[in-house]
Structure 1
Amino acid sequence: MTTTTHKGLTSSNTAADTASTDAAPVVRAVLYSRISKDTEGLGLGVERQREELHRLAAARGWHVVADLADNDISASSGKRRPAYEQAMALVDRREVDVLAVWAVDRLVRRLRDLEDVIDRTEASGSAAGVRIVTCQGDLDLSSPAGRMQARILASVARNESEQKGLRQRLQQRQAAQSGRPPARRAFGYLPGGRDLNEPEAGAIRECAKRLLAGASLTSLADYLNGEGLTTSLGRPWERTAVRAMLLNARLAGIRTLRGEVVGKGTWPPVLPEEDWHAVRALLLTPGRTTSGGTTARKWVGGTLYRCGRCRAPMRTGTRAGASGNADPTAARIYLCDATGSKHLTRRADEVDAYVLAVVEARLAEPDVAALLPAESPDVAGLRREAADLRERRDGLGEAFADGLLTAAQVKTASDRLSARLAEVEERLAQASQAGGLSYVLAAECPPVAFRSAALGIQRAVIDTLMTVVLLPGRSGSRGFDPETVRLDWKG
């Protein structure tokens, strides 16, 4: 006796089922199930199809060779269906006599896929054909009438798929216009999207503060991973994922649909809208480095310190070995070769240690709060202008709906307002230089916060407080000489 068991259902072939192998040969069947959308991730739709198919197999006395299922995979999206491919491989090798599905649309939803199934199941040479059987009836693909029926069913399935897609798009548009959150959970929110996940929301706020203070995306990814947090998909954080997360308009309570702003959301924002726009402007600043960073940015003063001979930015490098090539084991140096030769070099670790120590000492002074400049009238005016531009742009849709503007007029006005808004946001991003100092001074102990801050924040603080100028060493001097580092304090 051959038996295949599934969830308490058993299909079997015994001697009684087949009185003689000549009169009733064993029929080998592969069962295939599929569901396009498994919103709960429980596979219940596939499970119900499997139960029906096993009942069918038991009633027909088939031997179930394989029970295969594709869960949460559409048949019309073009995505790979691993279980479908396994089933068709069994068909190609003629290891089955029957391919059983709950309905035709579980197998194919496109006519070109049906034609492929017809070609692969029909008899050829000495190879017998493979029958297609559904829980609603058999399909005779060996006859013209049967193939026509299958094509009609596939056409109906295709039409249902297209109608379903249209309904889903309309539902998504309606949901967006009513301010409901998207179905997919966003980092910072609980499932359903209407309530904050406070540990994640707090981490987002910290990331926004650090970014505006000068931290890199890589350092933010390290921070999130260090807090034991993962993305909404359960993956470790990488800089690209951090960037995408911070650019998500849902953090500001803004509802979008396919990248288009639809209106205000009905959920609480993680960030004030003004703060999110500042983050967005900084991340989208033209020319902002999107790679992992350059070698110069791995040291505090790369491109930040100035040459005492020509005032050009100092870059980082290593001392040349005896052969004239860079020695990878040598100490890192700051060098200036603006004139075509290394006319000034200094050991990076010694200079950085001195500069960091001076800044820490200054941050420990009782009047440290006076270091933070008040927001300039220009910045305040830019923020007001940005808010006004967004409001005017958002109001164009209502003017179009009321018949006050044509579609062409709306596009022209929207393009003009968006272009001006991009300029204002870029200027605001450039004006956030004091962000690093603000972040450090807001800490309980500014010197400790500065020492433990990400490299980008340390650079921003130094750049806000002073200009570091490296001078040539004095002849005959040995070791580090503080007199060769001039600190020009700003303000």
Structure 2
Amino acid sequence: MKPTQNTPKRAILLVRISDDKAEDARGVGRQEADGRALADRLGWTIAEVITENDTSAFKRRKVMLPDGSTALRTVRPGFRNALDKLSSGARDGLIADDLDRVARDPRDLEDLIDVVEQRHIPAIATTGSMRLDNDAGITMARVMVAIANKSSRDTRRRVARKHQELAEEGKPGGGGFRGYGFTRNGMEVIPAEAKVIRWMAERILDPVEPWALNRIAADLERRGVPSATGAKWSGRSVRSIVTKPSVAGLRAHKGEVVGPAVWSAILERDVWEAVCATLAGRAGSTDLTLKRWLTGALWCPLCRHSLTGWQGNHGPRYWCATPLGGCGKIAIKADRAEAEVATRVLDLLTKPNILQRLTAIATTSVTEDVRRELAEDEAQLKQLAGMWARKELTFAEYREARAIIEDRVKESRTLVQSSAPRVLRSLLAGDVRKGWERLTPAGKREVVLTLLPDGYEVGPHDRSRGNAFDPRRLTPRAALAA
């Protein structure tokens, strides 16, 4: 092709690859070389290369739209950056290796077509698969993207079915990082790492002095014990390892245990379940991040994000934290907000209808029949696993029976482990005000969310009032039923 009269002088070269497993960017490197060669033939000047390495043009995620609603969209900052620059006139042309490097989602293609037609800019691919300069080219691009999208959907369906089949057979799924304690294929135990995992479990379940996860991580760092990836140990990484079903010889799929795995267990099933229960109990009753007990009960009216306890320059506050996805525009002093909510809670508890309602909730206890049934179902699950291991049942029979029993177990555990009645019984046993002072931060939040499940909305600060605390900023998000 020969240079045209409107030859771009500030063109974008867009390169993308979905999966850079080697992490060497060679795929996009080859695309860049081909794109520059085409630009030289056409007489275009490449002003910028926008790289989307290890970025899918098909997978969609749930995102929040400008109007506050949510929708499924491809997340491609590089592509959107290219559209913005083409739309503003900062760039005057687009080159890519192939149409499917630009778009595999029809919505993305339509956005590009809008920009091309509005700004009258050329957009081509080195393979010739993308020429959006006439109706025929645009129609062909739409057809090809629809076909590419269908191909991606077919691949996703086949891969998902294969992973389901592997899970049902108890085999590893492959891919991803190596799980700590196992070889990369996930089927052989590494003795040295298995010993570390058993040591972690012992420390967590120590009846005299159970260790915190951060203490375990610090000790591993001090002793120079390497992690699977070489990264620094943390409480989160320790929790992730000891709570994975794989260490108990179980196969999980989409977050659910589907049956025994083909590899050997590192922790006995009972030990693993005790570890999981212990850590879940810690998270529910002594959550160290819950020093600010209104975390999760205060909400931003601007972006609908939850406010989080935060240490600011002027002391502790609740903030719509930008590092956690908030807008950063709403904050309120922590001590004053907590004092105000505590006053409102205690005022509510003096109202007869509220007190009667809470007493009814608090006195609703789990019967001994439910507890007995839970114990029987848990024992039956263990017996069922033994029968499958001895080949007294087919896997299909085992899976069907386990699903039925697990549904009963989940329902029973929900009743047995419900925390709100336990907190309310403690609060209403005697003097309510004294009971409130005795509550842990987690307990206070539980009471607040029992009274007002939707919490409070925190309005913007009226700067005309100076720095004075205004309790009117706290508005219940839903009125308490009378």
- TM-score of the aligned structures, taking structure 2 as reference length: 0.55
Structure 2 stretches lacking a partner, 5+ long: 61-72, 292-373, 419-482
**1:280 aligned onto 2:271:** no
Paired position in structure 1 for 2:408 = 416
Identify the residue that residue 173 of structure 1 maps to in structure 2: 164
What's the counterpart of residue 356 of structure 1?
A: none
2:249 is matched with: 253
Of 108, 113, 135, 1:118 maps to 113
The letter of the residue matching 1:67 is V
Determine whether 1:85 maps to 2:77.
Answer: no
Identify the structure with bigger relative contact order (alpha carbons < 8 Å, sequence gap 6+): 1
Q: 1:146 aligns with which of 134, 137, 141?
A: 137
Aligned mates of 1:384, 1:212 — CA distance in 2: 24
Q: Does 1:390 align with 2:385?
A: no
Give the whole-Å Cα distance in 1 for the aligned partners of 2:412 and 2:381: 8
Q: Which residue of 2 aligns with 1:188?
A: 181
Once residues 161 and 409 of structure 2 are traced to their aligned partners in structure 1, the CA distance between those partners, rounded to angstroms, is 28
Output the CA distance in 1 between the equivalents of 2:96 and 2:407: 52
1:218 aligned onto 2:224: no
Q: 1:69 aligns with which of 13, 31, 51?
A: 51
Do the aligned partners of residues 88 and 154 (structure 1) sit closer, same or farther apart at CA in structure 2, a change above 3 Å counting?
same
- For the residues of structure 1 that align with 2:243 and 2:41, how far apart are their CA atoms? 57
Q: State yes or no: 1:106 paired with 2:104.
A: no
Is residue 281–residue 425 contact of structure 1 (8 Å, CA) maintained in 2? no
Shift, 1:52, TM fit: 2.8
CA distance in 1, matches of 2:159, 2:46: 37
- Which structure: larger Rg? 1
Q: 1:122 to 1:275 in 2, by over 3 A?
A: same
Looking at structure 1, the residues matched to 34 and 253 of structure 2 have their Cα atoms a distance apart, in angstroms, of 39
Partners of 1:33 and 1:49 within 8 A in 2: yes
RMSD of Structure 2 on Structure 1 (CA): 4.0
Instruction: Determine the C-alpha separation between the residues in 1 that align with 2:387 and 2:115.
Output: 57
Instruction: Answer with 153-162 or 221-230: which moved more.
Output: 221-230
What does the per-residue CA deviation read over 1:348-368, in whole Å, with 9 as the maximum and x for residues that have no partner?
Answer: xxxxxxxxxxxxxxxxxxxxx
SS in 2 for 1:34: strand
Q: Aligned match of 1:97 in 92, 106, 109?
A: 92
1:73-472 paired onto structure 2 within 5 Å: 73-76=55-58, 77=60, 78=73, 80-124=75-119, 129-137=120-128, 139-182=130-173, 183-184=175-176, 185-213=178-206, 214-229=210-225, 232=228, 235-285=231-281, 288-292=284-288, 386=378, 388-392=380-384, 401=396, 412-417=404-409
Instruction: Give 1:250's aligned amino acid.
Output: S
The whole-number CA distance in structure 2 between the counterparts of 1:180 and 1:400 is 13
What CA deviation, in whole Å up to 9, does each residue of 1:102-128 have, x standing for no partner? 22221112222112111222244xxxx
1:208, distance to aligned residue in structure 2 (A) = 0.6
Q: Give the share of equivalent positions with the same residue, in percent.
A: 28
Alpha-carbon shift at residue 132 of structure 1 (Å):
1.6
Judge conservation of contact 1:218–1:292 (CA < 8 Å) in 2: no
State the secondary structure of the residue aligned to 1:65.
strand
Distance 1:63 1:293, change over 3 A: closer
2:37 aligned with 1:55:
yes
- CA separation in 2, counterparts of 1:188 and 1:410? 27
Deviation, structure 1 residue 209: 0.5
Gaps of 5+ in 1: 1-16, 296-381, 427-491
The offset of 1:226, in angstroms, is 2.6
The letter of the residue matching 1:164 is T
For residues 134-187 of structure 1, the C-alpha deviation after alignment (integer angstroms, 9 at most, x for no partner) is: 122164434333322222122112111211111110121122233332422222
The letter of the residue matching 1:194 is M
CA distance in 2, matches of 1:87, 1:131: 13
* SS of residue in 2 equivalent to 1:151: helix
Partner of 1:488: none
Instruction: Provide closer, same or farther for how the CA distance between residues 45 and 267 of structure 1 changes in structure 2, counting only shifts above 3 A.
Output: farther
Distance 2:19 2:387 in 1: 37
Pick closer, same or farther for the CA change 1:145–1:265 going to 2, 3 Å: same
Closer/same/farther in 2, CA of residues 137 and 67 from structure 1, 3 Å limit: same
1:139–1:146 CA contact under 8 A, matched in 2: yes
Amino acid paired to 1:161: S
How far 1:395 sits from its partner (Å)? 7.1
Distance 1:278 1:32 in 2: 52
Q: Structure 1 187/261 Cα, relative in aligned 2: closer, same or farther at 3 Å?
A: same
